Amino acid sequence: MGEPRGQPNPPQGDPALTGLDSAVRHLPPAYFALVMATGIISIAARDFGFQALSLGMLAFNLAAYLVLATLTGMRAFRYPRLFLADMTDHKIGPGFFTTVAASCILGTQLLLIAGSLKAAIVFLSLAVVLWIGLTYTVFTAFTVKREKPSLEYGITGAWLIAVVATQSIAVLAALVAREWPQPGRLEFNFFALFFVIALSMWLWGGMFYIWIISLIFYRYSFFAFSPSDLSPPYWINMGAMAISTLAGAKLVENTPDAPFLASLLPFIKGYTVLYWATATWWIPMLLVLGVWRHGFRRFPLRYDPLYWGAVFPLGMFSVATRQMAKALDLPFLDPLPWVMFVAALAAWTLAFTGLVGELRRLFSAPPATQP
């Protein structure tokens, strides 16, 4: 079985591709990680009192989400075969789950920053529909397709975006439940829209993580590992546990309004701390691997849309740690969220600078002609 394809080349004999045509055709499905990264840093900025920055990033995120949704729709309409091929590709397909997480992150922004419960419910509903469709399309396709890559080539950290998507629904459902008027709180804490349960989503996310991280760690340890294999989405190893921590903290906070959670409270607290400890363990490991990749092996550091998948975990760890410390009364952790927020904001600035340069190059270059 050969190595899976990367981004496809323009078909031979096609007319010249304009900048927009090229952007649509080659749009990575995981580009919604831009919305995820921007959204979580906006939420962190709100938590630390930077209201102007938080509002500015919310406005930017609304525009980014609209642009990406439009480009994705154009790609599905104009290049349906390529779109479906990407969805069933082992390396590319999991990136579609960023649409779920981005919808929930934007919904969370609109609820916490703009105070719009209705908008949050709309985005939660959209996320649930996308999650159901993608979960049972992507993983069914991976199961039944005849030609499959080996584990060495078929799995990356991007698979864990499915975990992030699942937990993002749990977080937003718990937040909406807190704002939902009585007596609907108990029902909504137990049933997020369309029979999705906030508690169950948290548990399903943990289940997905155990399955997928086992394969990733096996791939780490028993197959050849080159610098190009260590793509930025491997930071989702940590980010998936960080958002699981946040979801657990929100469930703990909702216990007074959902009595059925009271009997599960020790379990929820214990696993929330476990998730946080796992996320914390990954940070030094990923930093060391990053030094190995760029320092010792001299792998070039240039803009790649996948780097947004590395920015998001940093911001999520900041928010998750702050919320867990509050929910579980762990004040000694208070300095850590601030440090991670600064790191996340710096990483976002670098990624955004790279994005601006990439857009300038894309739209200033002459159309590419086919030989």
146-165: per-residue pLDDT in tens?
899 998 889 988 899 999 99
When pLDDT is cut at 50, 70 and 90, the band that residue 15 belongs to is very low
The single-letter code of the amino acid at 5 is R
Rounded mean pLDDT of 334-352?
96
Contacts with 333 (C-beta within 8 Å, 6 or more apart), sequence order: 321, 322, 324, 325
pLDDT on residue 329: 94
Kindly state the tokens that stand for 171. 């977080």
Bridge partner residues of 280 (DSSP): none
When pLDDT is cut at 50, 70 and 90, the band that residue 81 belongs to is very high
The C-alpha atoms of residue 234 and residue 166 are separated, in whole angstroms, by 18
Torsions phi, psi for 17 (to 5 deg): -95, 130
pLDDT on residue 16: 45
Q: Are the CB atoms for 32 and 98 separated by under 8 Å?
A: yes
The angle formed by the CA atoms of residues 120, 124 and 129, to the nearest 5 degrees, is: 155
The whole model's pTM is what?
A: 0.89
Higher pLDDT: 368 or 105? It is 105
Burial class from Cβ neighbours inside 10 Å (0-12, 13-18, 19+) for residue 182 reads exposed
Rounded mean pLDDT of 36-61?
96
User: Which of 254, 97, 70, 232 minimizes the C-alpha distance to 180?
Assistant: 254
The single-letter code of the amino acid at 85 is A
Higher pLDDT: 195 or 36? It is 36
The continuous run of DSSP H or E covering 305 comes out as none
Annotated domain spans of the chain:
26-355
Q: What percent of the chain has pLDDT over 90?
A: 66
CA-based torsion, 8, 12, 18, 20: positive or negative? negative
**pLDDT (tens digit per residue) in 245-279:** 999 999 998 887 777 778 889 999 999 999 999 99
Does residue 352 have a pLDDT over 80?
yes
The C-alpha atoms of residue 31 and residue 29 are separated, in whole angstroms, by 6
Answer CATH for 26-355 from 3.30.300.20, 1.50.10.150, 3.30.70.580, 2.40.30.10: 1.50.10.150
Report the mean per-residue pLDDT for the chain.
Answer: 87
Percentage helix, strand, coil for the chain under 3-state DSSP, each rounded to 5: 80, 0, 20
Torsions phi, psi for 250 (to 5 deg): -70, -35
Rounded mean pLDDT of 29-46?
96
The C-alpha atoms of residue 100 and residue 163 are separated, in whole angstroms, by 11
Q: Are the CB atoms for 46 and 113 separated by under 8 Å?
A: yes
